[in-house]
Every structure is written in C-alpha cells, then in structure tokens.
Structure 1
Amino acid sequence: MTTHPSAPERSVVDRTLSILGVFDRDNRTLTLSDISRRSGLPVATVHRIVNKLHGWGALERGEEGGYSIGLKLWETAMLAPRYSGLAEAAQSHLVELHDQSGGAAVLALRDGKESVCLSILSNDPGLTAYRGGPGCRLPLHVTATGLVLLAHASVVLQDEICAGPLRAYTAATITNGATLRNQLSRTRREGYAMVCSSLHEGRGAIAAPVRNACGTVVASVGVVGPLNMLQPSRLAPLVMATAEAVSQQDRTEGRRMAGVGA
C-alpha cells in the first residue's frame, strides 16, 4: 500500500492510543461514531480496534452500546509506581489531615505543566464539581499544590510557564508572569503555598512539598476549603507536618522516588 509522504500511515499503536485518548472527564462514555470523530480515524478502523480493547478489558460496553474505560485498564494504571507508592504512603496521613483541618485533604504530583490529583478526601460533595477527583489535571499556576510543584520544578519550566499565557479561572487567578514568579519565590521561602479563590470563588487552599530521600520535591499535600477556614497560622504548620510525615514514611518504606517530577 502506498501512502502520501506528507501523511504517513499511523501505526496500530498510535491508532490505539488515539482511541484511548478520546476519553476524558467530560466524555466518559462514547459511541463508535463519537470515537471516530474525536480520534480522526475511520469508523471501520475504530470498530476493529475497539473490539480488541473490549475483549482485553481496556474498554467496557454499556447496555445502550456506548463504550467507557474498562476495569482492566484501571487496574493496570494502579500499578504505576508514581501513583501506588505515593498514594499508599500518604493515605493514613491524608485521613488525619482531613480530620484535623476540617477541609479536603489532597495529594498531587506534577506531570509536565499540570498537576495531577492522586487522592482527595472530602466531605464536601461540591468540591469535585470544580476541583475534580483522582486523575484530574489542572494548570500548575492555579492551585496551591500546583504552585508548590512549580516552585520546585526546573528553571526552564518556570520560565516557560511564567512567559504565559496563564489561563484565568476567576478574577483572583494569577495571570501575570512577574506575579507568579514572586509567588513561587515566596513558596520556596515560606515552605508552603496559599491561594484564595484562584480556582473557585470562596474557596482556597494551603499546600506543602513532599520530598524523596534525595530531597527532591516529588508531590505536594494540601488542604482545600472555604476561605474562612484558611488560617495560615493554624493550617500551614499542620499541612507542612503532614507533607513531612508522608516524605518520612516513604523513605522508611524504602520506595525509590528519586527523579520523579524532576
């Protein structure tokens, strides 16, 4: 089969990844036509690959014919060292932080220019409506956990993000590069980051870094709640102590996290 040099044929792996990549939080269940449209692949190709994925368990088919991510793929993803090690080390400490603070306890790590929520414990049913649950991605400049991760990222990444554009979620979101640089410096100096109404009006957060045995920041722990709850004098020491406890437990258990998030 001859293909045009400007439009090389996509490999089976590329096409399979394209199909899996069309699913997101706003598109959890899709028909074959939806998958074809969003992936840019012919329906016949989608049908063939989806059948393979369905047979393996990577996709599940609902009663109405739509497809969603399957348990097999979820189980495989749970084996990722960056998730499993951190989540296990942090769980009991997040429970304690949630109980002591009265707010939602969050654990996040960095993936490129975004923070990824690994775990969140909350009694607030509306929290995930705007912040999202495990797996939710947000720009680093928007949340307290993201600011902590960015503050300890490479200078190259900091320069790139500060150069903008910086998406505004509310009037309080940092959208100025110089302001963001100042916030990052303050975060490193004070040992924690605090945001107010940067993602959602009336909500804020305080977060601190989790470090591996080499001292590299690999994740961040935070508390999210209404603004009247965010008292730095009370919550900052609590959040920093929790982050240190997670760091210490991870070291004690011998998990090798060197280089993660660097």
Structure 2
Amino acid sequence: MWPLRLPPLPEPWAYFTDWRDLLLAAVGAVVVTLLIIWWRQQTRHWFRVCAATFLAGLLMCISSFYLFVVPPYFASCPQGCPGWRGYPLPIARIGLDGVSRVAPVDFAMNLFMLWLLWLGASLIWTLLGMGFQWWRRTTRARLFFVLVVAILPWALMPRLLEPPQPRATGEDLRLAVNARRAAEFTYRITGLWVQRLALEDIRTAAPAQDAPATFSQSEVKQVCLRGYTYFYIPWRRYRITLDPSGVTALSLTQVPLDGSCWR
C-alpha cells in the first residue's frame, strides 16, 4: 500500500498506467542508461545498436496492438468489463461498444518496456557470442548459434509466459481451468503447433436441441479460448461447451479470430 493516495492519470492519456508504473519506468530508465553506456564502451557503432533495438521495440509495440487482443468480457465481471490490446503492457482499451482507444502514456510505457527487453537481450547475446568465440566460427556454426540462442527462445516464449487474458475468479476460474484441461488433454489442441491457450470469455447458454434430456432444464457453460502458436502469433479460437456442472466437456468448436466467439 502506498502511504499517499495519488490521483489517477487523466484519460484518455492513460487507461492502465498509474504513478507506480511511472516510478518503475524511472528505475528502468536508469537500467537503459547503464546499457547504453556499456554499448558505448564496447563499440563505436553503439548508436546503431540503440537505434536498431528501439526500432525493433517500436515494431513489436505496434504489432502487439493487432496480435494481443482481449475483447470486452463478462467472465467474473457480470456488468461487462472493457478489454484491451497490447503486450506485455496494454496500450489500448476496447470499450463495450467494441471501439479501441489508444492511450499515449500506455503506448509509451509498452514501447519503453520492449526497448529495455531488446537492449537486455542484445547484451546477453553479445556476451554469449564472446564466450562462443563468434569471430572464429564457421557460417554454419554461427547460424546454429543464432537459432539456439536468439530464435528458439522467442519462438517458444508462449510456453513460458502467460498471454493477456481476463482474470477469472471463483466459479469462472473453475470453468476456465476445466475447459483448458479438456482442450489440452481431451481434444489435444495444444502440442506441436498451438503452444498456449488463453481465456477470452465465459457465458451460460441454452443446451442444444440434441442434448440429453437431463440437460433440458439446465443451462450449459461455454468457454472461449484463444490459441497462440510460435512467437505468440494468434492462431485460432476454441469454444468449449461444458455440461451444467461445468466438469465434463460436451463439444469443441473452432472459431475464427475475427467476429464473435459465440456465433
């Protein structure tokens, strides 16, 4: 808890960033400065390195607007909650009307975070390259080094980090866990191609016409999951229908990324 209650940052300049995030950004600015100083001591092309990492962070920040989408949801939020776009930090809020609004402060925070990650990654890659004695290796060995050290960790990142998703609690959390288990173990969705499933929303629906008679007086549960493949690229959505108790999966329907998950 903060000793002082600071006013929130004004909208529409910021929807998600608060004063604590700005304080952490100040600490990150110190780290960025130290990384830039380190690069200045290593090479006279330090400015190119900083500019290239900044450009990479900018491209990833813009791409995250389209790749990482959490639509407005009702899971653990009966009145409806706005969604967001962006990763690792949200940069735009999606209202219940479906309109996305980008906040400059949120965008700058996400860009700064990605730039810091790229600068840190460039430092790690350089140190590993020195230990690998890059300048003495053949072209084939260098390509293998880049594959193992740079490409594969980014490609398998969905296995390590959770994608953006609503924070379900209570009964909705139980339904989300059961639906994800059914998708992974019953329907074998995850594996070689789909690396991660993220919750998108949960709803209660009337049972299908061909449902068992025991369901005629009950409503089934439906959970929408978003699948991510390598490099955190969205692949497809999956609508899992659970029985009224929310334990047993009844069906799985693949849904395109665009449009509603419930149609």
Would you say same fold, with TM above 0.5?
A: no
Higher Cα Rg: structure 1 or 2? 2
